[in-house]
A and B are shown apart, each in its own frame.
Chain A
């Protein structure tokens, strides 16, 4: 049963041993990475059905709950752990110069991402998060261009700033409660963290973990990184890694921080994120940066969804997250060969008709045109906000609708160019088969979801319900009461 640990341990072990394996056989070093990830994905999938009935808690090292570190697996966590593993497998980064290094980094990313989703300890989450950040530096800088180094450095400065603030937030939480275990924090939070100190800790951690989740004030790195990193890395970062950071914020919000002010902060930052992201995307003149800015806008929608109190908010956020999880990597893969100025895209649909058709469908879903999944996801966010009947939420609805029309405007500009009658002077490159196949797989999966909306929505609803069930969380982990050693 504790095979779930292997989802984290095996990729790390393989990454450590990769350079030794390469000494023995280059062929083995090339294939062992994908094989290990395949194995961990199978492990994850085999655990999936039984988590529906009851979540699972493991203790690293077998120490009792608040003393050791807990690994908590419910379907919510496992969904994103699997997304990370399978996503890395599909978007396996390739590098002409040093495949060994990028394979190690990909393995580390998959292992850390799974661990981050499954972790049930505040400081452990911080360490996983830091490791994921460092691995992303490697993936971005792996391009080897001066631009990728500069954007990595700017990303590093913002991340370092955020991580230190998150550490300070953890210090404040530990000062107030004396524990780092999320289950025990959930027990103690109403008594000990429902005050100014708790709110300050929340804001500090929100800034810290928000860096990767493209939260409004700390997202300056997004356009630069996505424009300079390779498309597969951008797809991984925008598609999966940002969702994992969001998952941490969701967990903290559900279990630990219940202040109404926290929700207001999320709502305001979300609105600002949507507005700034979509406006910048509208002004962007190249495809990569347009997608990067629109990703900021999408993440803003998720923050708005999180700010809706109760289960409805988590459910809506989950729906938007899953939608974005499929959509964004697919779009970045399509942008791989189209990357660059939009002006130069003229007539590209003729050289690659399938890719162009897929792009149109994805764009329609991103805007939220009725039968497509994107529409239902946005509806799930907007409906409960209208029901709340508060001015700030009305503003959020208005901003989201305005953003949708902006999205329609800039995405149709791209589509018009794609189907332009006058071919541009430059000849267009055809997509690599692997890229196009992956994009088709992800995008096709998304479009296919139209035909089973109801069962999917039910499934997501039950996942969200399980995630918001605080008492089950506490009972599953069952931290023993901290006793004796009382000081003074």
Chain B
């Protein structure tokens, strides 16, 4: 019975999609907000990567909320999985190769992550991609040395402060008489590393926040066996 209703549901969905196919204008040349942004973004934000302009300037509030979602998810993940017991059994040691590899990779990942974050307004990449790399940089030692652990208190304070930075930069604009989250500072020369005003600073906050939250989540999941 259940299978039957499921099949019926899928069939209906398939018919709907087929109908949409029939009527959809694939080569739709509708004028859209994105093309208007392309026309003015370089001038208005000073970032060479327009996706970064949209993420941090035009739709900055979306990004703030997205960070808040990660923050909340990390907080709830910690709550659901609980803390590690002191006497919980450890995983077996990871062995020489993984340990040395982790030691060698850690600085490399850190540098690559920061590079990607700081060039987010110029090239593809930015706070999210770089943040993931930062998270893996901090998670890798955890895999290599099962005895070590990430200090969750530090993480929660770091992520809180990084998120607060984002909001406070936004509030500064309000004290300046502009709207909340308006980019500030000099826009500089298009394509230069130090340009686009506050956008790189915002992306740095995003990167640190994403990195610390994902590292926290990964550490929680890795240690979940030991919770009480």
Contacts and interface: CB of A to CB of B under 8 A. Distances in A.
A402 interface: no
Contact of B35 (A59, A138, A174, A484): A484
Contact of A175 (B24, B65, B183): B24
A196 B174 CA distance: 43
Interface string A136-156: 011001100000010000000
A484 B39 contact: yes
Contact of A176 (B28, B62, B64): B28
B69 A66 contact: no
Contacts of B139: none
B171 interface: yes
B188 interface: no
Given A16-B160, A485-B38, A58 B179 contact: yes
Interface in B14-49: 16, 19-20, 23-24, 28-40, 44
Nearest to A13: B167
Interface in A105-163: 105, 108, 112, 115, 123-124, 127-128, 130-131, 134-135, 137-138, 141-142, 149
Interface of B is mostly: helix
A172 B20 CA distance: 10
Interface residues of A, number: 64
A85 interface: no
A192 B30 contact: yes
Interface stretch (B74-82, B91-99, B115-123): B74-82
Contacts, number: 171
A317 B29 CA distance: 39
- Which of A9, A196, A484 is the most central at the interface, judged by chain B CB atoms within 10 Å of its CB? A9
Contacts of B164: 13, 16-17
Interface in A386-418: none
Interface of A is mostly: helix
Interface residues of B, number: 57
Contacts of B28: 175-176
B205 to A, nearest CB: 11
Interface stretch (B52-60, B105-113, B218-226): B52-60
Contacts of A15: 68, 71
- Which of A19, A23, A181 is the most central at the interface, judged by chain B CB atoms within 10 Å of its CB? A19
Contacts of B167: 9, 12-13, 16
A105 B69 CA distance: 11
Interface in A465-488: 482-488
7 contacts: A2-B179, A17-B161, A61-B57, A69-B59, A124-B62, A178-B30, A484-B36
Interface of A: 2, 5, 9, 12-13, 15-20, 23, 58-63, 66-69, 98, 101, 104-105, 108, 112, 115, 123-124, 127-128, 130-131, 134-135, 137-138, 141-142, 149, 172, 174-181, 192, 195-197, 200, 203, 482-488
